[in-house]
Amino acid sequence: AQKITQTQPGMFVQEKEAVTLDCTYDTSDPSYGLFWYKQPSSGEMIFLIYQGSYDQQNATEGRYSLNFQKARKSANLVISASQLGDSAMYFCAMREGANTGNQFYFGTGTSLTVIP
Amino acid sequence: DAMVIQNPRYQVTQFGKPVTLSCSQTLNHNVMYWYQQKSSQAPKLLFHYYDKDFNNEADTPDNFQSRRPNTSFCFLDIRSPGLGDAAMYLCATSETDSSYNEQFFGPGTRLTVL
């Protein structure tokens, strides 16, 4: 089974609108971290936001927020007030366990295009 | 600013000609990773170092080797590049391998094999 599933290969959003990028995950480990990265066409992976499995509240970082629904194993990224510079590939990732040497599992990504 | 640096940003090599990609970090992180990313795909982990401990992914071809001479530097050696090795190579670091540590990525090296 896929550890991370991103079902939206491509998304379009109007500038200044909000957009939600979907991510579901699969793990039996009670301790895990969920991450979102942005990858512009230049190629660099930029860390956006983190949610720990034991965090009680949804993570927020500026215009980014994470809609964490633990029972549904989903960790959707919400970008508010989209800007043209938000056009990029977005990857959801997970790391399992604490101090266990586990790798990052990446989803296949969602390509977001912001329309003026 | 603390960062992850990769050189060169673009590398062109010939089929079968060895090539070395370099990565350095000023974050003093314990863990360094090498990923291969092909167009429109997720990054694929090749190997990682926790300090000097080397961890090879099971499906990483023998053609790929890595060296970490000190905390700051890590190298990716491709001994005999094939056309299928053309990709973006991403170096990343994290403070530890705990589930709460994010990875910090360098800008990547785009490898072309002629």
Within an 8 Å CB–CB cutoff, is residue B111 touching chain A? no
Q: Which of A43, A100, A103 faces B110 most closely, judged by CB atoms?
A: A43
Q: Is the pLDDT of residue A25 over 70?
A: yes
Question: What mean pLDDT is predicted for residues B71-79?
Answer: 96
pLDDT band at A103 (very low <50, low <70, confident <90, very high): confident
What pLDDT is stored for residue A101 in this prediction?
59
Q: How many Cα neighbours within 13 Å face the side chain of A28?
A: 1
H/E element holding B42?
A: none
How far is the C-alpha of A24 from the C-alpha of A10, rounded, in Å?
16
pLDDT at B47 over 60: yes
- In this prediction, residue A106 carries a pLDDT of 93
Q: How far apart are the first and last CA of chain B?
A: 36
Q: Which residues of B touch A40 (CB under 8 A)?
A: none
DSSP letters for A44-84 = --EEEEEEETT-SS--EETTEEEEEETTTTEEEEEE-S--G
Higher pLDDT, A101 or B15: B15
pLDDT of residue A91: 97
Taking residues A88-112, report their average pLDDT. 85
Over chain A, what is the mean pLDDT?
93
Q: How confident is the model at residue B57 (pLDDT cuts 50, 70, 90)?
A: confident
pLDDT tier at B97 (50, 70, 90 boundaries)?
confident
CB-nearest partner of A44 from B100, B101, B107: B107
How far is residue B99 CA from its own chain's centroid? 21
Phi, psi values for residue A10, rounded to 5°: -145, 140
Three-state secondary-structure class, residue B103: coil
C-alpha distances in angstroms, B21 versus A91, A113, B78, B112?
Answer: 24, 32, 8, 12
Residues of B with Cβ-Cβ distance to A45 under 8 angstroms? 43, 90, 92, 103, 105
